Amino acid sequence: MVQPVLGFDIGGSAVKYAPVDISTGQTLSDTSSSPPPEPASPEAMLGVIKDVLKQLHWTGPFGVGYPGVVKQGRTLSAAHVDDSFIGRDWLRDLRSLTSESVALINDADAAGLAELRFGAARKFTGPGSGTALVATLGTGIGTALFHGGRLVPNTEFGHMQLDGREAEDWAAASVRLKEHLDWPEYGRRVNRFLQEMDKLFSPDLIVLGGGISENFREFLSYLNITCPVVAAELGNRAGIIGAALAVTLERPG
């Protein structure tokens, strides 16, 4: 077995983590979690990562999925974390914790990477394999776009304007609960978002992830677009697995 990589997935309600066998995509233990710090500043979040490494006696490589745009190690936006992250070279901070390899990647890109390598989009890993879009429907909408097996990082299509509102303010899974939408209405909203994605990018496959993927069959019949739409296969582990996989990328962010 290749050296395991510890994957972290930073979310609004928890920092989830588990060691991952990156050759198979299997987590090597149950997923654990720590509460996010308040405020969730770069220094405080670094402390959470450091505490987990110490608790697990982890001396190997690790990868972190971050809820925002990551470019050349800098966190350029902030969702569910403190605004002091914006513009921070947080990859440099993370590297100060170890002499091993470290990766920092957008959380939706991480989930997409896992689905591409080991999940519902695994037929799209090679050159010439077409275009796959992975969309995570949760508190917001995260997206990961792949063409010919290569990631186009930081797409953030959940923030695009759709009928006068940001798409995630209209079709995220959290909105269904907040507005008490039934499955037909919610399905129509998701369909509207996916139709826009289909029109703009002509993907060959769309994978829907996030917690809502467990209820995929409830709204599948309300989706009407030209390309296949399937449910994600890796569930809540996708972000952890993809963060670990990011260590194998030359430039994950």
Q: What per-residue confidence (pLDDT) applies to 2?
A: 82
Helices (H) and strands (E) in the chain, counts: 8, 16
- For 123-233, which CATH superfamily applies? ATPase, nucleotide binding domain (3.30.420.40)
| Cα angle 80, 86, 88; round to 5 | 120
For the chain, how far is it from start to end, CA to CA, in angstroms?
27
Under a CB-based contact definition with an 8 Å cutoff, are residues 79 and 67 in contact? yes
pLDDT at 144 over 70: yes
**What band does 250 get if pLDDT is binned at 50, 70 and 90?**
low
The tens digit of pLDDT for each residue in 182-219 reads: 999 999 999 999 999 999 999 999 999 988 888 999 99
The tens digit of pLDDT for each residue in 7-32 reads: 999 988 899 999 999 999 999 999 99
Domain 5-110+237-248 fold is Nucleotidyltransferase; domain 5 (3.30.420)
Strand duo 205-209 + 165-166: pairing? unpaired
- 0.85 exceeded by pTM: yes
What is the maximum span of the chain, computed from C-alpha positions, in angstroms? 52
Under a CB-based contact definition with an 8 Å cutoff, are residues 154 and 193 in contact? no
Q: What per-residue confidence (pLDDT) applies to 97?
A: 97
pLDDT at 1 over 70: no
| DSSP for residue 83 | G
> Could you give the CA distance from residue 147 to residue 58 in angstroms, rounded to a whole number?
34
| Residue range 144-155: mean pLDDT, rounded | 96
The fraction of the chain above a pLDDT of 90, given in percent, is 89
Q: What tokens does 137 get?
A: 């429907």
Indicate where the chain has its CATH 3.30.420.40 domain(s): 5-110+237-248, 123-233
Q: What per-residue confidence (pLDDT) applies to 253?
A: 53
The tens digit of pLDDT for each residue in 41-82 reads: 999 999 999 999 999 999 999 999 999 999 999 999 998 899
